[in-house]
């Protein structure tokens, strides 16, 4: 069960689909994801959970707050370069949502305690 819901869950579904496309083509894993790709996906889920923007999260590409460390960020870039065009054929709704999300303006400053994690910790 994922800790994410709403827009953040959709973001996780999108990155999961991209990682699956990439892993199948480059790591030839037919039975799910290889260990490295699964670790990257787990890292992405953690970063989404802790995004300071929470549900108002902008596209990571244009975000002024860089959540990813350098190495995973470059891995995600490579995955998106490869899987992005292929998403239109395999997951058209997720691809179109992702492209539309990239065009939306983003808030200047994240609201205090807006992250999914902060909201979860507040709830008893």
Per-residue pLDDT of the chain in tens (124 residues, 90 and over written 9): 467 777 888 888 888 999 999 999 898 877 788 999 999 999 999 998 888 888 877 777 777 778 889 999 999 999 989 998 898 898 888 888 888 777 777 667 777 777 878 877 776 6
Residues 6+ apart with CB under 8 A from 119: 54, 113
Rounded Cα distance between 76 and 89, Å, is 20
Residues 42, 33 contacting (CB under 8 angstroms):
no
Rounded Cα distance between 48 and 117, Å, is 9
Alpha helix (H) residue ranges in the chain? 7-26, 35-49, 70-90, 92-103, 116-122
Residues 6+ apart with CB under 8 A from 86: 21
Note the pTM of the prediction, 2 decimals. 0.82
117: left (phi over 0), alpha (psi -120 to 50) or beta: alpha
């Amino acid at each position: 069960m994922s800790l994410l819901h709403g827009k953040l869950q959709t973001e996780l579904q999108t990155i999961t689909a991209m990682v699956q496309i990439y892993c199948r083509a480059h790591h030839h894993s037919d039975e799910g994801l290889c260990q490295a790709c699964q670790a990257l996906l787990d890292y992405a889920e953690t970063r989404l959970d802790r995004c300071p923007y929470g549900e108002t999260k902008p596209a990571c590409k244009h975000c002024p707050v860089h959540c990813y460390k350098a190495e995973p960020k470059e891995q995600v870039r490579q995955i998106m370069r490869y899987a992005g065009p292929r998403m239109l054929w395999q997951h058209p709704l997720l691809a179109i949502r992702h492209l539309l999300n990239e065009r939306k303006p983003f808030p200047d400053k994240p609201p205090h305690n807006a992250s999914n994690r902060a909201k979860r910790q507040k709830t008893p």
